[in-house]
A and B are shown apart, each in its own frame.
Chain A
Amino acid sequence: MATHVRAEAPPAARSSWRSRLYRFDLKASPYAFIAPFFLCFAAFGLFPLIWTGWLSLHYVDLLKPDVMEWRGFGNYTRLWSNDQFWTALRNTFTIGVISTVPQLLMALGLAHLLNYRMRARGFLRVAILAPYATSIAAATLVFVQLFNPDYGFINWMLDLVGLHPNWYSDTWPSQIAIATIVTWRWTGYNALIYLAAMQAVPKDLYEAASLDGANRWQQFTRITIPSIRPTIMFTIIVSTIGATQLFGEPMLFGGGVGVSGGSAHQFQTLSLYMYELGWPSRQLGRASAVAWTMLLILLLIGLVQFLITRYRKRHELGG
């Protein structure tokens, strides 16, 4: 429709109106295009974030949320001296480590294997991604069955070698069980992300290396890993964030709303602790303090990761 404007050489007045419109369009439309994201974030992300911070300085009851009693940093100091908070923090950390580290290592290995030319490649890739389609709720309920100490499939297998761990009441087994659910759901997804990165590595690098006599392991460690390092960093960051927010798995693993993270809170995470404070215990102020503590921890982790990357870069540039 607009094409003939150029051909006809329109009168001056119309042209200046057009060009003004054109310039307005050029200036304003980028902002119009990004506006939905920022409006949505402001309304449902930033504003609640600040509100949570404000709430965390008060005593607030879930049922009477308009009555706010000033507490200052009281909610935070109370956390500091609360054993359950430290347990939840430690659990979040240990479950995070035992789910993230094996998950990413296995994903890396799987991606490397999936990168080979082979039969049934499409099927294998889809099969390994399939757990990603399962929800937290469904996956956890299935694993609750598989880990059941009395009739679960896993103990039935372990019985054959004389092991009979209780996946619910003991600290380490229960945390390993939860980490298993997380690892099962996310390994395939991460493997595909690594695979995407690996496919961008030039093939002649590998040919050159194999001509130079490098075996597959050497090719993997000396070419593949360094080439996809940015992607590895990205998955580490994303998984760390995910691990900090773990909620559904430990909650449903404990058998529903009643028991929060095990009888001795042996697998209660920070998110679950926050939920317990905010909803069953109705103390929104204290729950908000937990939420903000989580943000501070994430910022701290982010800072450490940033410093490591910068140090690495400097180091490499220097050498």
Chain B
Amino acid sequence: MAATLSTPSPREAKSADPARPRGLFRRKAGDHDKAGPVTYVLLGIAALVSLFPLYWTFVAASNTGERVALSPPPMVPGGELWNNISTAWDQADMGLALLNSTIVAGCVALSTVLFSTLAGFAFAKLRFRGRNALLTLVVATMTIPPQLSVIPLYRIVTKLEWSGHLQSVILPSLVAAFGVFFMRQFLSEALPFELVEAARVDGANSLRIIWHVVFPIARPAMAVLGMLVFVQSWNDFFWPFVALNAQNPTVQVALSGLGGGSGHDINQAVIMTGALVGTLPLLLIFAVLGKHIVGGITSGAVKS
């Protein structure tokens, strides 16, 4: 998403005065982007603040409920993790919730990536009437709060008797304006017009061009978009909360069920276990693919 928005304005781009004695200052000039100790300290604090709640979730999930409710709270992992997991499993059907979330996020990510790539390609490289107006419309739809459609969607879903079924969550998010915009930005930069033209001259129709030219070039962006959409869909709360129920929940809906009730009679450690189980799959993906995701988000700009 940042890809386009980051192009610096040309008026900034004046070059260094050639008359200055460069040689004398070369060392200093080369050091301009090297981190000092202050940078390490500040970033270390930021990383600590980012990771501490995640660490503490693990600590709480592996201790007993009584220990978690003590002051000062426990700071090291205990041995209760499996007990708590099995309790959380009994209370909120976490297994079904994990499966449902995987299905929903997987379907949403696949279809969003596919349709966004098609639309992004059309907006980036094909000429047709109303292109700019339609693209503006796509971007404008991003500002509409999802809450605005919730009530009628709820009616539609209950009328079709989809309430409590996964399709009620999957179908409304098959494609996203953000994805279309993201792929358009990427393909505008990464796919040369000449390649599309050459394929046409060779007699390839649009579908063949998509398959043999667009998809191979778009693959890195498709991977990043797929990840972002998967995370977003996995974490989506409002609509699944309205459309689904405790019998057939996604992870987030199951979690909100664990959190219900008043503070004293529920086992806080079990709630934290639920939070841990619901977050762990994504954290694992992040730990494994983290560099690629970060690289994907940050690389868009370099190409422009």
Contact = CB atoms under 8 A, between A and B. Distances in A.
A40 B175 contact: yes
Interface in B78-109: none
Given A52-B148, A130-B283, A199-B298, 9 more contacts: A29-B206, A37-B116, A48-B150, A133-B282, A133-B286, A211-B20, A271-B147, A291-B147, A291-B148
B260 interface: yes
A178 interface: no
A205 to B, nearest CB: 7
Given A37-B138, A40-B174, A196-B300, A302 B143 contact: yes
B122 interface: yes
A196 B297 contact: yes
Contact of B155 (A65, A188, A205): A65
- The secondary structure that dominates the A interface is helix
Nearest to B40: A118
Interface string A99-135: 0000000100110011111100011111111111111
B120 to A, nearest CB: 9
A141 B70 contact: no
A129 B147 contact: no
A234 to B, nearest CB: 5
Among A21, A36, A156, chain B packs the most CB atoms within 10 A around the CB of: A36
A137 B290 contact: no
17 contacts: A3-B203, A25-B205, A30-B126, A30-B127, A31-B128, A34-B180, A126-B287, A127-B50, A135-B234, A135-B235, A137-B251, A142-B56, A184-B49, A196-B2, A256-B260, A271-B147, A295-B144
How extensive is the interface on chain A, given as a class? 35 or more
Interface of B: 1-3, 5-9, 12-17, 20, 22, 25, 28-29, 32-36, 39-40, 42-43, 46-47, 49-51, 53-54, 56-57, 60, 68-73, 115-116, 118-119, 121-123, 126-128, 131, 134, 138, 141-153, 155-156, 171-172, 174-175, 177, 180, 201-208, 231, 234-235, 237-238, 241-242, 251-252, 255-256, 258-263, 268, 271-272, 274-276, 278-279, 282-283, 285-287, 290-291, 293-294, 297-302, 304
A138 B5 contact: no
B252 A199 contact: no
Interface stretch (A72-80, A82-90, A241-249, A260-268): A241-249
Nearest to B298: A196
Contacts of B17: 208, 211
Contacts of B138: 37
A184 B73 contact: no
Interface string A218-238: 010001001110110110010
Contact of A122 (B36, B147, B294, B297): B294
A98 to B, nearest CB: 17
Contacts of B35: 113, 116-118
B175 A52 contact: no
B175 A37 contact: yes
A47 B152 contact: yes
B205 A36 contact: no
Contacts of B180: 34, 37
Contacts of A208: 14-17
A95 interface: no
B43 to A, nearest CB: 5
Contacts of B258: 141
A200 B8 contact: yes
A247 B33 contact: no
Given A152-B73, A200-B301, A139 B238 contact: no
A57 interface: no
A227 to B, nearest CB: 4
B10 to A, nearest CB: 10
Contacts of B118: 33-34, 36
Contact of B50 (A33, A131, A255, A292): A131
A245 B146 contact: yes
Contacts of B252: 135-137
B238 A271 contact: yes
Among B3, B5, B300, chain A packs the most CB atoms within 10 A around the CB of: B5
Given A2-B208, A126-B290, A137 B237 contact: yes
A22 interface: yes
B229 to A, nearest CB: 13
Given A128-B50, A203-B33, A271-B238, A278 B151 contact: yes
Interface in A115-173: 115-118, 122-146, 148, 150-153, 156
B240 to A, nearest CB: 10
A2 B123 contact: no
Among A47, A48, A118, chain B packs the most CB atoms within 10 A around the CB of: A48
A179 interface: no
A209 B19 CA distance: 14
Contacts of A6: 201-203
Interface string A30-68: 110110111011001101110110010000000001000
A93 interface: no
Contact of B202 (A3, A194, A298): A3
Contacts of B149: 44-45, 48-49, 52
A136 B203 contact: no
Interface string A171-195: 0000000000000100010001111
